[in-house]
Amino acid sequence: MVFAQPWLLLGALAALIPLAVHLFDRRKPRPQPFAAIAFVLRSQRRTASRLKLKRIVLYTLRTLILLAIPLALARPELRRPGTAVAHAEGPAATALVVDRGLAMRFQDGESLFERARDEARSALASLGIDDPVTVVPCGPEVVPPAAPGLNRSEARDTLDRMRPAWAAPDLGHCLEVAARVLEESPVAGKRIVLISAFIAGTLRPETPPPLVRGAGDKRIRPDLVLRDVARGRRMLNNHFLAEVKAEPAPQSGARGVQIAFTVRNVSDAPAHEVQASLELGGRVLAKTFLELAAGATVQKTLVVRAETGGTVAGAVTLTTDGLAEDDRRDFVVQVPRELKILVVDGAPSPVRYRDEVFFLEAALGAPSSPLRPVVRDVEAGLRERFEAYDVVVLANVPAPPAEDVARLRAFVESGGGLLISAGDKVEPEAWNARMGELLPRPLRLVKSAGTGTGEAEGRLARLGDMRWDSQIFAPFSGKAREGLLGARFSRYMLVEGGTRADGSEVLAAYDDGAPAFVSARRGGGRVLLYTATLDRDWGDLAIRTSYLPLMQRAVAWLAGALDERERLEGRVGRTLVLHPDPQTAVRTVQSPSGVEVPVSIEADHSLRVGPLPEPGLYRPLDASGQLVVGSQFTAALDPADSDLTRLDEAQLQAYFGEEAVRGPAGTAERRVPLWTWLVVGAALAFFFEGLLLRKP
């Protein structure tokens, strides 16, 4: 605190007057004989404590009055560091650049954003009345503000309306915008006040500090005043979820889901017992505790079982720290649903292992498999309601009657899967005649490749030309692939030649080029023809280790369960392109906070959603406002923005210059005049003193 007229402080001695009067002015009271002294005594007893308090208050008020007046006359001012921005060299157009990036959401007692806003208001108040001013909210996107003006309320309104963003800003770009807008002011002086937490990722050292066009188009550097809202902290300790990956885990059961998440601790201190809880379908299903060393990255995988299949939303949440916004990450996962398979057994046998579908049933019905096979003989199988199943397997079945073929065709065209395997019961002519429309390619005849014993073994057929990139064979690699290729076939059904134009595709062929697996799309469904038997009659594939995954993959592919799922996660601030089923009619998308997000439908029926305004779960809605099932998606923060390491003083000085960082001598203080408050205080004390004196 400084005084403009310090010698007037001598007047403060007047505050001793009430004390002196109290001590020395002992006037002799007038003696008064009085008959009703009993009443005087009683009154005095009744009012003594109140009067004593009143006397003390009066004494205090009088002392304050006599103290405040000389103090006010001495013109005291409070000098507060870090808030004054005005220089003494006359008016200057000023741009208040206020960081509103993700880091400003950090809670340090209060949020850094609120602190920055207070700093901005304080800076605004300390400007001279002839300093034009504008406010530049500095977020991931920067809207050029209005030219600097003398209207303070406009600037205050901008500050009031400002909200923290969900991503890091580019301070260099914000300064550039501020410099451009300052050029619009005719005032010669130019000044930029940058209020920020100065996170390392927000400033690119390679971008030079902005210059402003001055008199004669000369580029000059504006006065730069930096206000650090995280003063005194080397870094803002923050742990956060860098990534969450959710995928089906069939090894853990039909609805098993595996969530792998990565947690980073960007801080100079370890974080102990950080709780991570996993929520799926609205319920917390698992919790775990993490020990995070300083600067460590930890990966954790949790496997849980979802209650329902289909598209399920979930979230991983960490114990919150200063920046709570990046301690939760939502995700959407496609939980595999159970598939019902109707297996029509064309060659049943009382001897289990001689049964046509013995190996197939064992492969499909393996524990933890989401497939549920139901085996029927031909007569019963063809009477079944195919619509109740996802896939129908015709294993060495004679050509079905025409009415069953019609039902099968309807089943496939409406999205069902059909697996046809060859065998002794399959007569090519009858099949071609009745099932020609469903078969990927017409059957021709059965070819014998050898006996499988002795010298003839060398003539046994093997799988040769494989489409390893197809969804069925894609997982086979290494030994699994070798196992598949090691299968031997003594007989197989030859098919007519064809092209992709007829919708058929050979996924695997024997080493002589004859197709082994031929696929085709029929309407909304798929058909797969396997030209050998599903048991050991025509080959030994059924006893190979690759048989089980091959059959499971084949059936899952037929049911459409292997279709590539698009990644249902976007990034905050960006747009997300979705490819929903054309039959679904997404009209709007609702953000986690209920705000409607812009949606545009592209020519290829894809949906362009965004920019996504906030992290969390987004809900696409149809025309009636109902959620379009299975279409939810999430938006996540950029993990890079959660690294709150701050620029150190040397880096700031290297970029902005020493004067901007330390503040020019004599100007880095804000002078707050106190004398007006003293006068107000004295007036109030005078008023209350009068009030007390009036009251008996």
Q: Which residues sit at the interface with other proteins, rule CB under 8 A?
A: 27, 29-44, 46-47, 51, 696
Concatenated DSSP letters of 329-377: EEEEEEEPPPEEEEEEESS--SSGGGSTTHHHHHHHT-TT-SEEEEEEE
Buried b (16+ CB within 10 A) or exposed e, 526-548: bbbbbbbbbbbbbbebbebebbb
How distant, in Å, are the alpha carbons of 71, 323, 384, 409, 412 from that of 404?
107, 64, 10, 9, 12
**Least separation in angstroms between CB 109 and other proteins:** 50
| Nearest distance, CB of residue 54 and other proteins, angstroms | 8
**Measured from the CB of residue 687, what is the shortest distance to other proteins in angstroms?**
21
- If the CB atoms of residues 41 and 269 are measured against other proteins, the closer one turns out to be 41
Return all residues near 82 (Cβ < 8 A) that are at least 6 apart.
119, 227, 231, 663, 668, 670
Which of 46/354 has CB closer to other proteins? 46
How far apart are alpha carbons 415 and 525 in whole angstroms?
4
We find the least distance from the C-beta atom of residue 28 to other proteins, in angstroms, to be 8
Q: Which is nearer to other proteins, 50 or 218 (CB)?
A: 50
Shortest reach from residue 38's CB to other proteins, in Å: 7
Handedness of CA 439, 440, 442, 446 (dihedral sign): negative
Round to whole Å and give the CA distance between 514 and 512: 6
Whether the Cβ atoms of residue 619 and residue 589 lie closer than 8 Å to each other: yes
Q: In what order do the strands lie in the sheet with 310-318?
A: 283-292, 271-280, 310-318, 328-335
- Between 31 and 186, name the residue whose CB sits nearer to other proteins: 31
**Minimal distance, residue 18 CB to other proteins, in Å:** 16
Least distance in Å: CB of 9 to other proteins? Answer: 35
**Cβ neighbours of residue 461 under 8 Å, at least 6 residues apart?**
449, 450, 488, 489, 490, 492, 510, 511, 512, 514, 539
Distance in Å, CB of 688 to other proteins, minimum = 18
Please, what is the minimum distance in Å from the beta carbon of residue 14 to other proteins? 25
Q: Which of 506, 482, 480 is nearest to 492 (CA)?
A: 506
CB of 693 to other proteins, least distance (A): 10
* DSSP single-letter state for residue 148: P
Q: How far apart are CA 555 and CA 565, in angstroms?
A: 18
In the complex, least distance from residue 46 CB atom to other proteins, rounded to whole angstroms: 5
Picking from 41, 26, 18, 86, the residue whose alpha carbon sits closest to that of residue 671 is 86
- Residue 47 or 299 with smaller CB distance to other proteins: 47
Q: Nearest Cα to 82, choosing from 194, 206, 240? A: 194
> Quick one: 33 or 478, whose CB is closer to other proteins?
33
Q: Which is closer to other proteins, CB of 51 or CB of 595?
A: 51
d(CA 693, CA 685): 12
Residue closer to other proteins (CB basis): 41 or 680: 41
Residue 565: Cβ within 10 Å count: 12
Q: Closest CB to other proteins among 54 and 459?
A: 54
Residue placing its CB nearer to other proteins in the complex, 40 or 269: 40
Q: In the complex, what is the shortest distance from the CB of residue 155 to other proteins, in angstroms, rounded to a whole number? A: 56
Whether cis (ω within 30° of 0) applies to the bond prior to 611 is yes
Instruction: Tell me the residue ranges of DSSP E strands in 177-282.
Output: 189-196, 212-213, 219-220, 223-228, 238-248, 256-266, 271-280
Specify whether the backbone of 478 is left (phi greater than 0), alpha (psi in -120 to 50) or beta. left
Nearer Cβ to other proteins, position 36 or 603? 36
Q: What is the rounded distance in angstroms from the CA atom of residue 147 to the CA atom of residue 183?
A: 8
CA distances from 174 to 257, 429, 474 (A): 44, 77, 49
Structure tokens at 546: 């690759």
Provide the β-strand partners of residue 138: 99
Closer CB to other proteins, residue 26 or residue 161?
26
Report the residue number, 161 or 695, with the smaller CB distance to other proteins: 695
Q: In whole angstroms, how close is the CB of 24 to other proteins at the nearest point? A: 15
Nearer of residues 41 and 406 to other proteins, judged by Cβ: 41
Tell me the backbone φ, ψ of residue 405, rounded to 5 degrees. Answer: -60, -40
CB of 161 to other proteins, least distance (A): 58
Per the structure block, which two tokens stand in for 313? 């939303």
